[in-house]
Amino acid sequence: MDGRIFLSAPEVTGDELRYVAAAIEENWIGPLGPHVEAFEREVAEATGVSRAVAVSSGTAAIHLALEVLGVGAGDTVVASTFTFIGSVAPLRLVGARPWFVDSESRSWNMDPELLAAAIEEATRRGRRPRAAIVVDIVGQCADWDPIVEICGEAEIPIIEDAAEALGATYRGRPAGSFGTVGIVSFNGNKILTTSTGGALLSDDDGLLDEAFYLATQARDPAPHYEHSRTGFNYRMSSLLAAFGRAQLADLPRRVERRRAIFERYRRELGDLPGISFMPEADFGRANRWLTAILVDREAFGMGPLELMAHLAARDIEARPLWKPMHLQPVFRDEPVTGGRVAEDLFARGLALPSGSGLTTDEQTRVIAAVREAWRR
């Protein structure tokens, strides 16, 4: 065996040093200036929105999105249950409560019919949702046309959590551009990274002006430090923005590389009984951030956790898919509409090593290890 194979290791393009060195030489080190601005312009361009505000993480971006949409104490927000905690943890920061909605099996994203049912039931119970947090999970867009229509009719603004979906599209349009506000993450495990970071996306300048204001300690226009509200210190460092520019220029190749990794897994493991692959709905093109498989214990001979242990013993990192938020102890008392689909994805799901820097030999090793598990 030669070296550990990680689930989604960051990949450096080689250009990062040049960008970061330029920022240092020009003494643009803080959280403002031309490197952050250029990164924001390029992120907006890549996601098809008019403007982006770069911040310290995707979770911070969700928090700001809730703030600028006016979501506050006691409000209800409908949210995808099949997601990572960062999508919904900020609800607690503003004192709002989630109402979770299950996935559909075509894309594993929020089921539009259940969304409509959740809005109706919440409204009937005197909890008309104030906003929706809709996730593009594991690099695939949600079914945006019906979701935008349903939320539009109910006058509910959408926060699109495209943290995992940078570079994916829905009917040709980029992930991140479907909500009233969108967010992306540049965390170390994402398709591209600034080590840690995120951005808010929108066509609404007013909302982004307010997000910027809140992200920079809510500083009012005055020669001294004047504050009529309290904000946060959520801005992205120039050094990280410079790093991110080199990464972003490589996004199209990264999408193709991750898709090729997915396709090879499917070609070389697709014949194994009990193994199936994350579907790609006909409405979009996924970035295949992670190759997600479902493992049927009976047909395959072991379940996903045993397969994960089998791979770990061979120095290969795999991971279960997201545990639905309605099953998380921290959200024990929150309502959910549906839930079976997300529960099944959690029970059977496993993500295989998928980083764009994964070598052919490393992938050969992963494939051989999965086949060996089956033979046993």
Ligand X SMILES: Cc1ncc(COP(=O)(O)O)c(C=O)c1O
Would you count residue 84 as binding ligand X (CB under 6 A)?
A: yes
Binding region for ligand X (CB under 6 A) out of 14-22, 52-60, 250-258, 325-333: 52-60
Would you count residue 86 as binding ligand X (CB under 6 A)?
A: yes
Task: Evaluate whether 122 touches 101 at the Cβ level (below 8 Å).
Answer: no
Question: CA-CA distances (angstroms) from residue 222 to 205, 208, 226, 230?
Answer: 21, 20, 6, 16
Q: How far is the CB of 317 from ligand X (least distance, A)?
A: 16
User: Quick one: which of 110, 138, 118 has its CA closest to 342?
Assistant: 110
Would you count residue 57 as binding ligand X (CB under 6 A)?
A: yes
Kind plus residue range of the DSSP H or E element containing 174? strand 173-174
Question: CA-CA distances (angstroms) from residue 195 to 12, 21, 49, 93?
Answer: 11, 16, 23, 24
Q: How many CA atoms lie within 13 A of 42 on its CB side?
A: 17
The site for ligand X, by CB under 6 A, has a size of 14
Q: How far is the CB of 343 from ligand X (least distance, A)?
A: 18
- Residue 317: phi and psi, rounded to 5, are -90, 125
**Based on CB atoms, which residue is closest to ligand X, 22 or 327?**
327
Binding region for ligand X (CB under 6 A) out of 42-50, 82-90, 106-114, 267-275: 82-90
Q: How far is the CB of 224 from ligand X (least distance, A)?
A: 33
Q: How far is the CB of 177 from ligand X (least distance, A)?
A: 16
User: Quick one: which of 4, 9, 2, 1 has its CA closest to 258?
Assistant: 9
Q: How far is the CB of 193 from ligand X (least distance, A)?
A: 9
Query: How far is the C-alpha of 200 from the C-alpha of 137, rounded, in Å?
Result: 17
User: Mask: binding to ligand X, 129-158, rule CB under 6 A, as x and -?
Assistant: ------x-----------------------
Q: How far is the CB of 79 from ligand X (least distance, A)?
A: 11
In the window 214-243, what residues touch ligand X (CB under 6 A)? none
User: Quick one: which of 291, 162, 187 has its CA closest to 247?
Assistant: 187
Can you tell me which of 161, 210, 334, 362 binds ligand X, judged by CB under 6 A? 161
Give the sign of the dihedral formed by CA 108, CA 109, CA 111, CA 117: positive
Q: How far is the CB of 360 from ligand X (least distance, A)?
A: 27
Q: How many CA atoms lie within 13 A of 48 on its CB side?
A: 14
- Residue 99: phi and psi, rounded to 5, are -130, 110
Task: Evaluate whether 40 touches 247 at the Cβ level (below 8 Å).
Answer: no
In the window 177-206, what residues touch ligand X (CB under 6 A)? 185, 187, 198
The CB-nearest residue to ligand X is 58
Binding region for ligand X (CB under 6 A) out of 44-52, 113-121, 160-168, 300-308: 160-168
Would you count residue 79 as binding ligand X (CB under 6 A)?
A: no
Task: Evaluate whether 194 touches 244 at the Cβ level (below 8 Å).
Answer: yes
H helix intervals, the chain:
16-25, 34-47, 58-68, 89-94, 112-124, 144-153, 205-215, 238-248, 251-269, 297-300, 304-312, 340-348, 360-375
Can you tell me which of 76, 87, 194, 238 binds ligand X, judged by CB under 6 A? 87
Q: How far is the CB of 248 from ligand X (least distance, A)?
A: 15
Would you count residue 109 as binding ligand X (CB under 6 A)?
A: no
**Based on CB atoms, which residue is closest to ligand X, 174 or 269?**
174
Which residues of this protein are in contact with ligand X, per CB under 6 A? 57-59, 83-84, 86-87, 135, 161, 163-164, 185, 187, 198
